[in-house]
C-alpha cells in the first residue's frame, strides 16, 4: 500500500490508526469479555485525569502497536538513496535499494508541510527492507516523529509517497500507555481481545510475549506496581501480540534511566534475533541506534531529510560489551560526525523553530 499527495490515502490494513474507543470494563457496550484481570470498581471510577489518558486514547495506541519479522543488512557507510552527499563519503553503492519492490517500508521524495507553514520534512528517501531494523537519529524537531506518523497513516505527506508493505503495522511509543485498571496479562491480551481472538489462544500468546520480554511471574501485577522499565516491557509484549508486518518505535526508551535503557536495548535485540522483526526505530541516542540497528540513518535539522546511512554489520544477538568494541565505536563515531555535519540551526519556516 502506498500513500502520497497524488493518491488517495489507503487505510492501513489491520489495526486502525483511529480505532473506536474501548469502553471502560463494566460499562454498557463494552467489548471486553474478561474482567477477571481488572480491579473491580477502578475502571468505572477512573477519570482521564487520574489515568493520564482516556481508555479510548490508550486503545488508539494499543491498537496501533505490534511486531514484524524480517532479515538483516550489512555493508559500509553510505548515503541513503536520494540523500544529500556527506563530505568524505563516496557515491551511493546502495542506490536502487530504495526502489526494491519487496521493501517493508519506503519513503520516496516525501515532503511534509503543516498548515501553519512549518516544513518538517523535505525530499525524504528512505527504505526499510524485509529483515532490516533501521534506526533514525537526528536533532530534535527534524521530523522523526512526523516520519512515523506518515508511515502509520496518522498523517499524509504533502508530496511524495509512503509505501508500507505487508498487511499490518505496529507502533510503540515512549509512553507505555497501559490501562491502569488491567493487570499485566490483561493489558498484553488487549490487542488480541480487540480483534476477537479467543481467550485461550490470546492468553497463551500473552504468556509467550511476557516470556519474550522477561516478565514471567508479573502477570497479576497492576501497572502502578511496576517500574518504568517493566511498564515498557509490558508495552513491548503487547506489541508482540499482534504480529504486524511493520513495527515503528518512537523513542520507546527515551524516558528510562540509563541502566534500564541499556537492559531494554539488550532485551529488544535479543527479541529481534528470536523473532526476526524489521522496523524503524527513532532515537536521540547514537549508541542506542548503533547497538540496535542493522542500519543507522541520519537526518538533518528541520526541514528534515536523510543525509547519510551507516550499516552496522554485527550479528544479533549483540552482547552488551559490544558497546565498548573499537569497531562499534568507530561506526558510532561516524554516525555522530554525520549528525554534527547535518545538525545546523533549523530554518524558520512558518512556525517557530524548535
User: Which residues would be at the binding site for ligand ADP (CB under 6 A)?
Assistant: 114, 116, 118, 120, 138, 140-146, 302, 351, 354
Of residues 14 and 138, the one with the C-beta less far from ligand ADP: 138
Cross-strand partners of 247: 170, 279
In whole angstroms, how close is the CB of 124 to ligand ADP at the nearest point? 11
In whole angstroms, how close is the CB of 178 to ligand ADP at the nearest point? 23
Of residues 44 and 140, the one with the C-beta less far from ligand ADP: 140
CA–CA separation, 239 and 231 (whole Å): 12
Cross-strand partners of 249: 172, 281
In whole angstroms, how close is the CB of 232 to ligand ADP at the nearest point? 19
Contact yes or no for 255/227 (Cβ under 8 A) = no
Of residues 138 and 170, the one with the C-beta less far from ligand ADP: 138
C-alpha cell at 201: 489462544
Contact yes or no for 308/77 (Cβ under 8 A) = yes
In whole angstroms, how close is the CB of 349 to ligand ADP at the nearest point? 9
Please name the residues in contact with 313: beta carbons below 8 A apart, sequence gap of 6 or more: 74, 75
In whole angstroms, how close is the CB of 354 to ligand ADP at the nearest point? 4
In whole angstroms, how close is the CB of 56 to ligand ADP at the nearest point? 20
CA–CA separation, 210 and 238 (whole Å): 8
Cross-strand partners of 171: 248
For 303-354, the DSSP string reads SB-EEEEEE--PPSSPPGGGGG-HHHHHHHHHHHHHHHHH--PPP--SSPP-
In whole angstroms, how close is the CB of 136 to ligand ADP at the nearest point? 9
Of residues 25 and 143, the one with the C-beta less far from ligand ADP: 143
Of residues 223 and 346, the one with the C-beta less far from ligand ADP: 346
- What are the backbone angles phi and psi of residue 158, rounded to the nearest 5°? -75, -35
Of residues 147 and 237, the one with the C-beta less far from ligand ADP: 147
Report the chain's terminal Cα–Cα distance, integer Å.
32
Of residues 118 and 285, the one with the C-beta less far from ligand ADP: 118
Please name the residues in contact with 38: beta carbons below 8 A apart, sequence gap of 6 or more: 25, 181, 182, 183, 186
Of residues 125 and 205, the one with the C-beta less far from ligand ADP: 125
In whole angstroms, how close is the CB of 145 to ligand ADP at the nearest point? 3
CA–CA separation, 127 and 334 (whole Å): 21
In whole angstroms, how close is the CB of 143 to ligand ADP at the nearest point? 4
Of residues 142 and 272, the one with the C-beta less far from ligand ADP: 142
Helices (H), 105-198: 144-151, 184-194
Residue with cell 525524504: 124
Interhelix angle 258-275/228-241, nearest 10 degrees:
20
Nearest of 244, 245, 262 to residue 253 by alpha carbon: 262
Amino acid at each position: 500500500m502506498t500513500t502520497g499527495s497524488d493518491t488517495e490515502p489507503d487505510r492501513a490494513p489491520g489495526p486502525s490508526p483511529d480505532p473506536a474507543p474501548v469502553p471502560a470494563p463494566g460499562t454498557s457496550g463494552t467489548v471486553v469479555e474478561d474482567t477477571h484481570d481488572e480491579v473491580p470498581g477502578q475502571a468505572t471510577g477512573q477519570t482521564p485525569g487520574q489515568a493520564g489518558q482516556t481508555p479510548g486514547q490508550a486503545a488508539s495506541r494499543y491498537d496501533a502497536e505490534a511486531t514484524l519479522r524480517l532479515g538483516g543488512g550489512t555493508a559500509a557507510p553510505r548515503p541513503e538513496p536520494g540523500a544529500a552527499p556527506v563530505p568524505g563519503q563516496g557515491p551511493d553503492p546502495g542506490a536502487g535499494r530504495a526502489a526494491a519492490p519487496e521493501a517493508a517500508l519506503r519513503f520516496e521524495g516525501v515532503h511534509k508541510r503543516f498548515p501553519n507553514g512549518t516544513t518538517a520534512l523535505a525530499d525524504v528517501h528512505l527504505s526499510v527492507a524485509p529483515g532490516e531494523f533501521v534506526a533514525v537519529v537526528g536533532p530534535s524537531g527534524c521530523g522523526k516523529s512526523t516520519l512515523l506518523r506518515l508511515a502509520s497513516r496518522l498523517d499524509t505527506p504533502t508530496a511524495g509517497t509512503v509505501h508500507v508493505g505487508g498487511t499490518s503495522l505496529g507502533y510503540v511509543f515512549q509512553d507505555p500507555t497501559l490501562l491502569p485498571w488491567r493487570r499485566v496479562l490483561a493489558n498484553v491480551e488487549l490487542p488480541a481481545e480487540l480483534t476477537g481472538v479467543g481467550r485461550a489462544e490470546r492468553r497463551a500468546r500473552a504468556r509467550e510475549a511476557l516470556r519474550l520480554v522477561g516478565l514471567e511471574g508479573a502477570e497479576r501485577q497492576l501497572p502502578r506496581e511496576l517500574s518504568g522499565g517493566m511498564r515498557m516491557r509490558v508495552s513491548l509484549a503487547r506489541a508482540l501480540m499482534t504480529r504486524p508486518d511493520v513495527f515503528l518505535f518512537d523513542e520507546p526508551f527515551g524516558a528510562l534511566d540509563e541502566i534500564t535503557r541499556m537492559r531494554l536495548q539488550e532485551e529488544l535485540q535479543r527479541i529481534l534475533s528470536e523473532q526476526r522483526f524489521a522496523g524503524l526505530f527513532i532515537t536521540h541516542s547514537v549508541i542506542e541506534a548503533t547497538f540496535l540497528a542493522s542500519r543507522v540513518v541520519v537526518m538533518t535539522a528541520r526541514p528534515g531529510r536523510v543525509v547519510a546511512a551507516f550499516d552496522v554489520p554485527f550479528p544479533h544477538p549483540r552482547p552488551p560489551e559490544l558497546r565498548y568494541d573499537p569497531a562499534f565505536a568507530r561506526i558510532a563515531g561516524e554516525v555522530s560526525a554525520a549528525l554534527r555535519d547535518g545538525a545546523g540551526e533549523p530554518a524558520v519556516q512558518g512556525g517557530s523553530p524548535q
